[in-house]
Amino acid sequence: MDPTSLIGATSIIVAGLCTSLGCLAPAIAEGRAVATALTSLAQQPDASATITRTLFVGLAMIESTAIYSFVVSMILIFANPFWNAAIAEVAAK
Amino acid sequence: MDPTSLIGATSIIVAGLCTSLGCLAPAIAEGRAVATALTSLAQQPDASATITRTLFVGLAMIESTAIYSFVVSMILIFANPFWNAAIAEVAAK
Amino acid sequence: MDPTSLIGATSIIVAGLCTSLGCLAPAIAEGRAVATALTSLAQQPDASATITRTLFVGLAMIESTAIYSFVVSMILIFANPFWNAAIAEVAAK
Amino acid sequence: MDPTSLIGATSIIVAGLCTSLGCLAPAIAEGRAVATALTSLAQQPDASATITRTLFVGLAMIESTAIYSFVVSMILIFANPFWNAAIAEVAAK
Amino acid sequence: MDPTSLIGATSIIVAGLCTSLGCLAPAIAEGRAVATALTSLAQQPDASATITRTLFVGLAMIESTAIYSFVVSMILIFANPFWNAAIAEVAAK
Amino acid sequence: MDPTSLIGATSIIVAGLCTSLGCLAPAIAEGRAVATALTSLAQQPDASATITRTLFVGLAMIESTAIYSFVVSMILIFANPFWNAAIAEVAAK
Amino acid sequence: MDPTSLIGATSIIVAGLCTSLGCLAPAIAEGRAVATALTSLAQQPDASATITRTLFVGLAMIESTAIYSFVVSMILIFANPFWNAAIAEVAAK
Amino acid sequence: MDPTSLIGATSIIVAGLCTSLGCLAPAIAEGRAVATALTSLAQQPDASATITRTLFVGLAMIESTAIYSFVVSMILIFANPFWNAAIAEVAAK
Amino acid sequence: MDPTSLIGATSIIVAGLCTSLGCLAPAIAEGRAVATALTSLAQQPDASATITRTLFVGLAMIESTAIYSFVVSMILIFANPFWNAAIAEVAAK
Amino acid sequence: MDPTSLIGATSIIVAGLCTSLGCLAPAIAEGRAVATALTSLAQQPDASATITRTLFVGLAMIESTAIYSFVVSMILIFANPFWNAAIAEVAAK
Amino acid sequence: MDPTSLIGATSIIVAGLCTSLGCLAPAIAEGRAVATALTSLAQQPDASATITRTLFVGLAMIESTAIYSFVVSMILIFANPFWNAAIAEVAAK
Amino acid sequence: MDPTSLIGATSIIVAGLCTSLGCLAPAIAEGRAVATALTSLAQQPDASATITRTLFVGLAMIESTAIYSFVVSMILIFANPFWNAAIAEVAAK
Amino acid sequence: MDPTSLIGATSIIVAGLCTSLGCLAPAIAEGRAVATALTSLAQQPDASATITRTLFVGLAMIESTAIYSFVVSMILIFANPFWNAAIAEVAAK
Amino acid sequence: MDPTSLIGATSIIVAGLCTSLGCLAPAIAEGRAVATALTSLAQQPDASATITRTLFVGLAMIESTAIYSFVVSMILIFANPFWNAAIAEVAAK
């Protein structure tokens, strides 16, 4: 296995797994938060403003961890320093 | 295993796993959110407007994590920089 | 293992796993949503219109993640760019 | 391992696993839906028409994901483009 | 490993696993449905006709997924196109 | 590993696993159904006829999935077409 | 690894695993059934005849799945057609 | 690896695992049955005769599955037909 | 790997695993039984004689499965027929 | 595999896994905290100031563990001392 | 790998795993028993003598399974017949 | 694989896994503590001072275990004695 | 791999795993015992002397299983008979 | 793989895993203890002195198991007798 394709194949595998695994927990957590928000709304309709605002802050916080993983995947696909080094090494031969 | 087919096979594997794994948690989470929405509707039919609106915002938020995975799969199948480099390398020989 | 059969075998494996794994969570989630809908209907028969409508929107949303996986499988079986490239490469020899 | 038997063996494995794995979740989900329907019927016998109708729509929706997997298995056994290509390649020699 | 025995061994493995795995979830689901039916009968003996009918429809629906797996196993043992091709190839030599 | 012993060893492994795995879920499900029947009998002794009848129908339904697995094992041990072909091939040499 | 010892070792492994795995679920299920019977007896001592009878029928039904596995193990140890064939083949040399 | 030691090592491994794995579930199940018996005794001290009798029948039933595994282990250590054949084969040389 | 050390190493591994695995479930089960006994004592101090007696019978029954595993380990370390045969074989050379 | 590409590939794998795994638990924990906050708000709307403040402190604390993992990934991609040493070693040749 | 170091390395591995694994369940079970004892004490302070005595008998019973594992580890480290045989064999050369 | 790159690659892998795995449990535990604090605040707003103080002490205690893992990772990346020895050995050649 | 380093590497691995695995269950069990003690104290403050004394006896009992594992690790690092034998063997050459 | 780097790599791996795994359970257990303390404080604010004191004793007890693992890691990194022996052996050449 030559170095270039090793780096390429590794980047593909990790980019895919990083996004798919890294999105599991945020999705579950968001589902839980939304579900609790709906229960709370049904129980205390008068506090809907506070509940909705807290829900949105919380969703943004949770979504941030999904975005960390997505960012790492995008870096590995489109701005990968190891791939660039491997390409440069091939071009230099 | 020559580099081109290695990159190709890896892309196929990751594209498939990324979508199938990345859709597990959003589906579970959406099922939970929908289930809670139905419970809340049955408990407090008067708040159906607020509940439905919050549900749809939440579903969109959760669906976004599934779409991240689907986007990565589509990039790996149809706009894969590593595959393009491998094809170009073969063509250059 | 020659490149063509490698790509072919990989596509078969991923197409099968992608559909079978990708359908697990939507099925579970739909079962949950339907079960909650039935509970809610038994508890509040008067709200059946709202409950049914919300259920169908939710089922469509959940089914969409199953369809993402099915679409990826169909692409891998019938419109696979990597297989086409491998076939073309063999034909060109 | 010659290409033809590789493709054949892979198709057999995936066809079997795809059906058996892909039927797990729908069976569980249908069991859950049926169980809830029975509970609801015992709790609110007057709403049996609505409950039964919603149950059947839901079961059809869930069964559809099992059928996706079964369809992929049948395609892999009886209409497999990769196997056809491998057979044609052998016949052409 | 010659192609014929590879195809044969693979078919045996998959036929066995497909049936044994594919029967797990239906058995669990049927047990759940029957258990709920018994609870419902004890709670509402007057609705026994509706409950029994819904139970049998549901059991048939769940059993269908077990039968999909059993059918695939039987096809792999007694009507396996890949095995037929391998046998024909040997006979043709 | 010669073909005959490969087929033989594979059949032994699959026959054993198929029965042992395939009996897990039916046993669990029957235990659940029996347990619920006992609870229901204690709660509503007057409905014992209906409960017992439904229990036996359900147990037969669940036992059927265990029998599918046992049948596949018996076929693999005593009526195995792949083993017959392997034996015939050896005898023909 | 010569064929005879391969068949022998495989039979030993499968015989042991088949019994030990195949007894897990029946034991759990019987424990559950017995536990529920005890609860029911404490709750409704007057129905002890019906409860005990139903319990014994259920235990026999569950034990049958354990016996399937034990039978397969005994067949593999003492009436194994593959081992007989291997021994005969050695004796024939 | 010569056949004799292969058979010997396999028998050791399977004998140990068969007993240790095969005792997991009976122990858990007996613990559950005993625990429920104690709860029932505390709840209904007057029915202690029936409860104790049912408990002992149940424990004997559960213990039987542990004894199946222990018997298989003892057969493999002290009355192993495969080991006897291997020893005889060595002695015959 | 010579036969003697293979048998020796295998015996060590199995002896250790058999005891450690085989003690998991009895410990859990005894913990459960003791815990329930304590709860029952607190709930019904008058029945302490019956509860204690039933607890000790149950603990002895559960401990028996742990002792099966310990016995198999001791046999493998100090009265191992396979090891004796291997030692005898070495001494005979 | 030459040292440079080994270090590169390892860094890619670990960077991806570290972020995706390290974000699982914080996301789950934040979802739980947000969900409880919403429940508490619905139950005691008057304490919303204290609840919100405690929630934000807690979210910051939990987010810090996700940031530890993200920081390690960034260090491995952009400030990796092992990669720098490998590059320097190559350049020195 | 020479026989002496094989036996030595195996003994180390098994001694460590046997103790660490074999202590998992007793610790959990003792924690459960202690926890229940505390709950019972809080609920029925008058029965503290009976509760404490039963707790200590139970803890000793559970601790015995941990001690079985510890004894096996100590035997493997300090009184290992297989190691002694290997050492003697080396010394005899 | 030369020693330097082996040490380097191992350090990268362990540094990443140590942080990501070691942060799982603290995050979960902190989420649990924060969630309970919010519940307690909603239930007993008057004790908010004591609750908040105990919460912060507890969070610091839990965070300390996450910091142990982070410290080990940083030591492995920036103050690794094994890497220093390997580098020194290379420089000494 | 020479014997000395094999024994050394094995001892390191087992020492680390033995401590880390062997501390899991005691920590969980102590957490449970402490948690129950706190609940009991809140429920019955008058029995705090008995509760605290029983808690400390229980914690010591549970801690003992953690100490077994720690002792085995320390023996493997600082008083390892296999390592001593290997060192002596090297020194004797 | 030369002995020095084998010992080094093994030490790195075990040091990292030992800390990260060994901190999982203490963190979970501390989270549980803190959570229960907060619940108890909210339920019985008058017993805050006893609760806090018992909590701190318990946390110290649980933290001790985490510190065992951390100590083993530190010993493996900075006071490793096997590494010292390997270094001395290299220096002696």
Question: What is the spatial distance between Cα J33 and Cα A32, in angstroms, rounded to a whole number?
Answer: 10
Chain L residues close to J68, C-beta within 8 Å: 19, 23, 66, 70
Contact C31, D34 (CB under 8 A): no
| CA angle (B87, B92, C4) in 5-degree steps | 40
Q: Tell which of I10, I14, I20 to mutate to test the K interface (max K CBs under 10 Å).
A: I20
Angle, in degrees to the nearest 10, between helices A3-22 and A24-43: 10
Question: What is the spatial distance between Cα M5 and Cα M21, in angstroms, rounded to a whole number?
Answer: 24
Whether chain I has a CB inside 8 Å of the CB on H76: the answer is no
**Could you read off the pLDDT of E39-65 as tens digits, one per residue?**
999 888 888 888 988 999 899 889 988
* Nearest-neighbour CA in chain E from F2: distance (Å): 8
The secondary structure element, H or E, covering residue I20 is helix I3-22
What token pair was written down for H42? 């505390």
Predicted pLDDT of residue C14: 92
Q: How confident is the model at residue I1 (pLDDT cuts 50, 70, 90)?
A: low
The average confidence (pLDDT) of chain C is 88
Pick L28's closest partner by Cβ from N4, N28, N66. Answer: N28
Predicted pLDDT of residue A5: 83
What token pair was written down for G93? 């040399």
**Could you read off the pLDDT of H13-44 as tens digits, one per residue?**
999 999 899 889 999 999 999 999 999 998 88
Q: How confident is the model at residue B32 (pLDDT cuts 50, 70, 90)?
A: very high
Whether chain L has a CB inside 8 Å of the CB on J90: the answer is no
Contact C23, D20 (CB under 8 A): no
Residue B53's CATH number = 1.20.20.10
What token pair was written down for H56? 């002992």
Q: What is the DSSP letter of I62?
A: H
Q: What is the DSSP letter of D44?
A: -
Count of domains forming chain G? 1
Chain B residues close to A34, C-beta within 8 Å: 29, 33, 36, 54-55, 58-59, 61-62
Provide mean pLDDT across the span C39-48.
88
- With CB atoms and an 8 Å threshold, state whether K6 touches I11: no
Question: What is the spatial distance between Cα B29 and Cα H21, in angstroms, rounded to a whole number?
Answer: 36
Q: Would the CA dihedral through A74, A76, A78, A81 be positive or negative?
A: positive
Q: Tokens 């990194």, residue? A: N77
Question: What is the spatial distance between Cα L36 and Cα L43, in angstroms, rounded to a whole number?
Answer: 10
Amino acid at residue number I37: A
- With CB atoms and an 8 Å threshold, state whether I18 touches H16: yes
**Could you read off the pLDDT of G55-91 as tens digits, one per residue?**
988 998 898 888 899 989 989 998 888 888 888 877 7
**Could you read off the pLDDT of M22-47 as tens digits, one per residue?**
889 999 999 999 999 999 998 888 88
10 Å CB burial of residue I70 (0-12, 13-18, 19+) is: buried
Whether chain G has a CB inside 8 Å of the CB on F75: the answer is no
Chain J adjacent subunits, 3+ CB pairs under 8 A: A, L
**Could you read off the pLDDT of J41-88 as tens digits, one per residue?**
988 888 888 898 899 989 988 998 888 999 899 999 988 888 888 888
pLDDT tops 80 at residue H1: no
Residues with pLDDT less than 70, chain L: 1, 93
Which residues touch E74 (CB under 8 Å, ≥6 apart)?
A: none
Q: Is residue J93 part of a domain?
A: no
Question: What is the spatial distance between Cα B78 and Cα B75, in angstroms, rounded to a whole number?
Answer: 5
| Rg of chain E (C-alpha set) | 21
What token pair was written down for D84? 């056809």
Q: How confident is the model at residue D1 (pLDDT cuts 50, 70, 90)?
A: low
- With CB atoms and an 8 Å threshold, state whether E68 touches D39: no
**Could you read off the pLDDT of G18-35 as tens digits, one per residue?**
989 988 999 999 999 999
Q: Is residue J77 part of a domain?
A: yes
Whether chain L has a CB inside 8 Å of the CB on N17: the answer is yes
Chain N residues close to L26, C-beta within 8 Å: 23, 27
Q: What is the residue range of H42's domain? A: 3-87
Can you point out the beta strands (E) in chain C?
A: none
Question: What is the spatial distance between Cα H82 and Cα I84, in angstroms, rounded to a whole number?
Answer: 17
**Could you read off the pLDDT of I13-56 as tens digits, one per residue?**
999 999 899 889 999 999 999 999 999 998 888 888 889 889 99
**Could you read off the pLDDT of K17-40 as tens digits, one per residue?**
998 998 899 999 999 999 999 999
Predicted pLDDT of residue G38: 92
Question: What is the spatial distance between Cα F16 and Cα G77, in angstroms, rounded to a whole number?
Answer: 12
* ipTM passes above 0.90: no
Question: What is the spatial distance between Cα N80 and Cα N89, in angstroms, rounded to a whole number?
Answer: 14
**Could you read off the pLDDT of K36-81 as tens digits, one per residue?**
999 999 888 888 888 988 998 899 889 888 889 998 998 999 888 8
- With CB atoms and an 8 Å threshold, state whether D18 touches C19: yes
pLDDT tops 90 at residue N88: no
Question: What is the spatial distance between Cα C61 and Cα I15, in angstroms, rounded to a whole number?
Answer: 54
Predicted pLDDT of residue A28: 93
Question: What is the spatial distance between Cα D11 and Cα E58, in angstroms, rounded to a whole number?
Answer: 32
Q: What is the DSSP letter of B23?
A: T
Residue whose C-alpha is closest to residue H51's, from H65, H63, H36: H36
**Could you read off the pLDDT of I65-84 as tens digits, one per residue?**
888 999 899 899 988 888 88
Q: What is the DSSP letter of B55?
A: H
Q: How confident is the model at residue D30 (pLDDT cuts 50, 70, 90)?
A: very high
- Neighbouring C-beta atoms of residue L9, cutoff 10 Å: 24
Whether chain K has a CB inside 8 Å of the CB on M70: the answer is no
pLDDT tops 80 at residue F2: no
> How many residues are given for chain K?
93
pLDDT tops 90 at residue D33: yes
Q: Is residue I43 part of a domain?
A: yes
pLDDT tops 80 at residue N78: yes
DSSP for K24-67, written as a single string: HHHHHHHHHHHHHHHHHHHH-GGGHHHHHHHHHHHHHHHHHHHH
Predicted pLDDT of residue B4: 81
10 Å CB burial of residue N40 (0-12, 13-18, 19+) is: buried
Chain H residues close to G87, C-beta within 8 Å: 85
Q: Tell which of A36, A38, A55 to mutate to test the B interface (max B CBs under 10 Å).
A: A38
pLDDT tops 80 at residue N2: no
Classify H93 as helix, strand or coil.
coil
